[in-house]
Chain A
Amino acid sequence: MQVNIQEINERIQQESAFVDALKMEIGKVIIGQKGMVERLLIGLLGDGHILLEGVPGLAKTTAIKTLAASMKASFHRIQFTPDLLPADLVGTMIYNQKTGEFQTKQGPVFANFILADEINRSPAKVQSALLEAMQERQVTIGEHTYPLPSPFLVMATQNPIEQEGTYPLPEAQVDRFMLKIKIDYPAREEELAIMRQQISQEIPVANPVVSTDDVLRARKALHAVYMDEKIERYILDIVEATRRPRDFKLDRISSYIAYGGSPRASINLAIAGKAHAFVNRRGYVIPEDIRAICFDVLRHRVAVTYEAEAEEMNSEMIVQEILDTIEVP
């Protein structure tokens, strides 16, 4: 198939023009956390969902709320608690005394952007209800199936501390998240700016600069981003190295990996790589795109053994080792 890169590049340049405007608008409200904002856009463009890990107070809610506001999209925040029921999430049938009929009451999952706060505080049945909605993009209440609005992005958070009384997400369900982002405290200068912003009289508010249609159009354009076979093979090498490290001269980490990335890891790495190129307004993927997004795609998909934990190795160190060993095309 003949590929006209120049044409693709021009189209991507055109379609991705809103990215800068969106970043600027979000940047008005959120100081720092540029990585998180970029990953949010990648998740949004890649039609995936994001699992976010970080201590409270790092602007997780503000980020997704601002993104929603910048796009004039609906936003719901759901606080997961141990007594939450699936019906509290997806909705239920309510008896109407006036009409004498049951009518559907849609739950908070019906929104463009969902913040599932502390998803691991709820039991498995509630987590499954959300994860099913994430996967199927539709919800069945009673006898009717309702499609979820598009774009639909779930940003679930997990608190890395206070693990008592939590229900950790099973590996199979964690795999459904396209990216797992770890966020850290802001830099000193950034925190100073945040502090000044929050104590000032006028706290900035994001205005709509992009429509949801722009995002849906960008998603279509994302498929056109060119990915060379060399990059595809590089992705496969990385993912395969998480499964069979010995084949890639990674004997040292072989005993540290319980299991590696699934084919969903390869697919998501490719999509996220394209989205990263798109966000950087490029019509083709380069190895830098893959390496930039690799940790976020693989960190929750590589399970480490007890031996690794004893050696204080985590999945990120394993991914780093793989990246340091596999030749870049």
Chain B
Amino acid sequence: MKHLFLAILIAVACGTGLHAQDVHVSARADSNRFQIGQWITLHLTVDAPAKYTVQLPSTDDDFEGGEFVSADEAEIGMKGDRREYRQDVVATIFDTGSIALRVRVKYSIPGDTASYFAYSPSFEFEMGTVALDTTQAFKDIKDVLHVPLTIWDYLLYAGVILLVLLAGWFGYRWYLRRKNRPEEVPEAPEPDIPAHIAALQALHSLREQKLWQHGEHKAYQSGVTDILRMYIERRFRVPAMEQTTSEIMPGLAMLGLSPQTVEKVERVLKTADLTKFAKFTPSSLQHEDAMNVSVQFVESTRQAGDLPAVPRVSESEAVVSSEPADAVHDPERTEGGLGDV
């Protein structure tokens, strides 16, 4: 058993060694000093039995330490039962310093499916670098190529120029028209009629319409309360138009008005609510009371100012006063205080 194992080991060792000794690869270079990336021509000679199939170096893998560039046509000569291949191959090395290079040749033996490799002896190259002058500016390798202009290019340029001229011409015309246009005079804002005058005028106008006398009780009561609520909103800044009677009353009571005044206004608003929402028909006395209470409330709570006294609505038409608008919303300036109605 021990002898058998030894015999197999010797056979394997000898078998592989025999193939390697059969194929001889040698290479020679003209120099051993090159610049980085410079092409290195290697004169390759391969001596192999004629029956072997030899594949000369043709890829980067066939150069250990270098890269394949190109190869010339191989010259093949016969020496008895052996064949000699001669070929110049070009390789390069992209590295600097002392670099070892070795060439590999692939071959196969008839009747054997395996591929074998033979290597040239490795030899060293001294690869130098290129000195760069970093003080010099970058420059193009080639000048810019000038393409000759065609008719279409000329047409395009002409079109753009035409458009610019047209835009300029229209702009100039617009400018002239604008320059010659007479200046617009802003309309003077309508003078803000003081709250009490607006209310008294509206009440007077409502009375003149004689609505309840013609059976339009609801329209009359709606009119009176709308005027009253609008007056309260403008005069006391209470949002009465967006509030119900029960919401308006606490707001009025907090303004320092006398309880009698608040009570009378509440009576008017509640009567109007009944008329508006419950088909209640007020008596002529109640209609008159609504008007009188409203007029007295407006007159007694109106703002003070340099206006003349407003005539009674029932006696003559109300006169628009010249009271300044800014006095309208000043609750402090009240003529006669917030007395009873």
Contact = CB atoms under 8 A, between A and B. Distances in A.
Contact of A228 (B239, B245, B246, B277): B277
A31 B241 CA distance: 36
Contacts of B277: 226, 228, 230-231, 284-287, 329
B278 A328 contact: no
Contact of B242 (A3, A226, A324): A324
A46 interface: no
A232 to B, nearest CB: 11
A326 interface: yes
A318 to B, nearest CB: 15
B276 interface: yes
Contacts of A286: 244, 273, 277-278
A288 interface: yes
A325 interface: yes
Contact of B244 (A3, A228, A291, A324): A291
A327 interface: yes
Interface in B253-284: 273, 276-280
Contacts of B222: 329
B135 to A, nearest CB: 61
A113 to B, nearest CB: 32
Contacts of B246: 288
A5 interface: yes
A324 B244 CA distance: 11
Contact of B278 (A284, A287, A291): A284
B233 to A, nearest CB: 10
A323 interface: yes
B243 interface: yes
B interface: dominant SS = helix
Given A291-B244, A325-B242, A328-B244, A283 B278 contact: yes
Contacts of A323: 242
Interface in B186-228: 222
Nearest to B240: A328
Interface in A225-255: 226, 228, 230-231
Contacts of B241: 327-328
A286 B241 CA distance: 15
A5 B278 contact: yes
Given A286-B244, A286-B273, A291-B244, A226 B239 contact: no
Nearest to A287: B244
Contacts of A231: 277
Contacts of A9: 278
A292 B9 CA distance: 109
Contact of B279 (A3, A325, A327): A3
A286 B269 CA distance: 12
A5 B279 contact: yes
Contacts of B278: 5, 9, 226, 228, 283-284, 286
A109 B245 CA distance: 43
B76 to A, nearest CB: 84
Contacts of A287: 244, 277
A328 B242 contact: yes
A329 B243 contact: no
A5 B275 CA distance: 11
A323 B241 CA distance: 11
Contacts of A288: 244-246
Contact of A324 (B239, B273, B276, B280): B239
A251 to B, nearest CB: 17
Residue of A324, A328, A329 ringed by the most chain B CB atoms within 10 A? A328
Interface string A154-182: 00000000000000000000000000000
A287 B278 CA distance: 12
B280 A5 contact: yes
A155 B241 CA distance: 36
A3 B245 CA distance: 24
A226 B279 contact: yes
A3 B281 CA distance: 13
A229 B35 CA distance: 105
Contacts of B276: 228, 230, 329
Interface in B8-67: none
Contacts of B242: 323-328
A284 B245 CA distance: 16
Nearest to A327: B241
Residue of B239, B273, B277, B278 ringed by the most chain A CB atoms within 10 A? B277
Nearest to A324: B242
A185 B277 CA distance: 36
Given A3-B279, A5-B279, A226-B279, A328 B243 contact: yes
Given A9-B278, A284-B278, A291-B244, 19 more contacts: A3-B279, A5-B278, A5-B279, A226-B278, A228-B276, A228-B278, A230-B277, A284-B277, A285-B277, A286-B244, A286-B277, A287-B277, A288-B244, A324-B242, A326-B242, A327-B241, A328-B242, A328-B243, A329-B277
The 10 closest A-B pairs by CB, nearest first: A284-B278, A5-B279, A287-B244, A228-B277, A288-B244, A327-B241, A286-B277, A5-B278, A328-B244, A284-B277
23 contacts: A3-B279, A9-B278, A226-B277, A228-B276, A228-B279, A230-B276, A283-B278, A284-B277, A284-B278, A284-B279, A285-B277, A286-B244, A287-B277, A288-B244, A288-B246, A324-B239, A324-B242, A325-B242, A327-B241, A328-B242, A328-B243, A328-B244, A329-B276
